[in-house]
Structure 1
């Protein structure tokens, strides 16, 4: 699960951030997405103003039991994490540094060289009426000794499995990069919210169709090449259509 923001020149959809010195603030649209890793295409998409918080979609989504949801730390919400736990859904996210919690237990794992490889904690979040028990795992790189801290409600997965699940979250970043490189939404044909959303949906549908086509082709052809070939083909078909239509209208 992730989101990306499309900047708009007019403040049609409420933007985020401070107003620039000019006094004019650009609008923006946020694309909230849930992607199934094995499929590689969006399964759930919601379009909102850029000001809408990332965990907007987390509150709405209900996944099948035994699903695993990977997301970044912008989605941290104790109440929703507790709901996911009660629904039998595993989540894996990155821990924020400023979170307040109670440490119930902690185990340090050390390599043969005497270096700490990871720290496994059982923690409790308490906020108002919400109580949520979670697992906090801090991992250290053998080379750089930099650490990353993951948060999950799964106490059975190995540290390596948790790291791999979070790593797979980058597949959705690749999807956004693919969309922005091949279907740039720099210009819109309409200025209304409806027109902007329709054009965005068209781009998502085009990306889906190109993905299906790329998987049908047996030889290796890059996604960008497929998009380019389709653009050239479409241009030729449209040209022929206009020629025929022009001749027909004169008769």
Structure 2
């Protein structure tokens, strides 16, 4: 392989972590005072060790510690000053502040938001569209004091639920909140910032009329599905114009009852019945967007599937089946490091002119993690450059001449 085209002074691992500035780490350390009482294994070492763990899909502390021994002569290029022992990493995961990792993730998101941002949706609607959803990570221990469903072996199956918000035009989480798996989704709505330039889209698991009333008072839009047993009163039937998508079956103004302590009030909402030809079923949406077209509201809910694809991408490429600790702190740190790696690889993918599937990109980086291959140069045209290198070095394969002439 010709070094003039592919060689880099940094390994693939070094190139990925170079996306995280030293200044960013120092600011996060200072803000949360997360290096206090630490002599050797400081935050930067901890962060990069957990990124290594994520990229290599390590399933235990032993794998992380043993795998990183190979970096002993490469500390400068990978910016690691102290390689972790099993006990050192376990103590760090248990005791170090989660807020440090959260700060790193949020600052990376701010720094590279221009890479992910696609303003077409905001321009078309005049509002930002944010998607809300949660995913449950099952654990066979009573972590976070939660008791989930019973496993097949009869043991209590605990779990942690990760609630996320993504901008529809960015496709990476910009707000993450952890709760026990038994916590109801609608409690997360209290965490959302309300403003007149935002529309939130979420599934019916988040139904909460009190929150919907708060959204309406703050002029914040929302779109969701109405529950099958929801009580409401139809007060107006809107006509469906000819230019509206034929999938819109009805457009109604409804009233629902909101309990605010001992006081009951009425909340006016919009209910739209839509037939989806792809899934061959109808959906009932509710919203407070009275000025939007009925088919636009249905299309907004369809955008919600982007966050489902994000969860699928993370779970397929960075399986959260094995945790390096059985305590709340260690689990949260590991999840944040997965989000950080997902973001870093997303930046690499977006910077390439050639289209690569995310899973292929992850696989390549995992295989060549400590090889000195220039990431972007290789990804742009690997097959053609590989063939040219072999021709120059006189290493044509058995069928290469045949393929060239045939």
Distance of 1:116 and 1:220 partners within structure 2: 33
Q: Which has the higher contact order (CA 8 A, sep 6+)?
A: 2
Residues 204 and 122 from structure 1, CA distance in 2 versus in 1: closer, same or farther, beyond 3 angstroms? same
**1:82 aligned onto 2:82:** no
Residues 153-172 of structure 1 aligned to structure 2 (within 5 Å): 153-172=288-307
User: Which of 81, 99, 103 is the aligned partner of 2:234?
Assistant: 103
Cα distance between partner residues in 1 of 2:334 and 2:201: 28
Q: C-alpha separation between the residues in 1 aligned to 2:291 and 2:212?
A: 17
Aligned-partner Cα distance in 1 for 2:204–2:177: 19
Q: Alignment RMSD, CA only?
A: 2.3
**1:228 corresponds to:** 363
After superposition, give the CA deviation of every residue in 1:46-95 in whole Å (9 maximum; x if it has no partner).
11111111112211211332211110001111111111111111100011
Using the alignment, how far apart are the partners of 1:142 and 1:217 within structure 2? 35
Q: Give the distance between the partners of 1:17 and 1:3, measured in 2 at CA.
A: 15
In the TM superposition, residue 23 of structure 1 has moved relative to its aligned partner by: 4.5
TM-score by length of 1: 0.85
Q: Which of 325, 329, 334 is the matching residue for 1:190?
A: 325
Structure 1's 219 and 77: CA in aligned 2 closer, same or farther, altered over 3 A?
same
* 2:253 maps to 1:118: no
Contact 2:148–2:158, Cα closer than 8 Å, also in 1 = no
1:53 aligns with 2:184: yes
On the 8 A contact 1:67/1:89 being kept in 2, the answer is: yes
* 8 Å Cα contact 1:15/1:25 also seen in 2: no
- In structure 2, relative to structure 1, the CA distance for the partners of 1:191 and 1:235 (3 Å cut) is farther
How far 1:6 moved relative to its partner? Answer: 0.4
Structure 1 stretches lacking a partner, 5+ long: 238-251
Cα offset for 1:172? 0.2
Choose the corresponding residue for 1:205, options 334, 340, 353: 340
Distance 1:131 1:79 in 2: 10
**Change in CA separation of 1:148 and 1:20 when aligned onto 2, cut-off 3 Å:** same
Where is the helix percentage greater, Structure 1 or Structure 2? Answer: 2
Sort the Cα spacing of 1:199 and 1:95 in 2 relative to 1 into closer, same or farther, 3 A: same
Choose which of 62, 84, 108 in structure 1 pairs with 2:193.
62
Secondary structure in 1 matching 2:283: strand
Distance 2:252 2:345 in 1: 44
Counting matched residue pairs gives 234
TM-score normalised by structure 2 residue count: 0.54
Alignment CA distance shift 1:176-1:18 (3 Å): closer
Q: Helix, strand or coil for the counterpart of 2:141?
A: coil
Q: SS in structure 1 opposite 2:324?
A: coil
Larger radius of gyration, structure 1 or 2?
2
CA distance in structure 1 between the partners assigned to 2:185 and 2:279 by the alignment: 31
- For each residue in 1:122-177, what CA deviation from the matched residue of structure 2 results, as whole angstroms up to 9, or x when unmatched? 11111333431100011235698732111000111112111110000000000000
The separation in 2 between residues aligned to 1:218 and 1:168, in whole angstroms, is: 25
What residue number does 2:311 align with?
Answer: 176
Check the 8 A contact 1:117/1:142 in 2, yes or no. Answer: no
Q: Deviations over 1:190-236 (max 9, x none)?
A: 11111111111110111011111110112111111221122223355
Give structure 2 stretches of 5+ with no counterpart.
1-131, 373-406
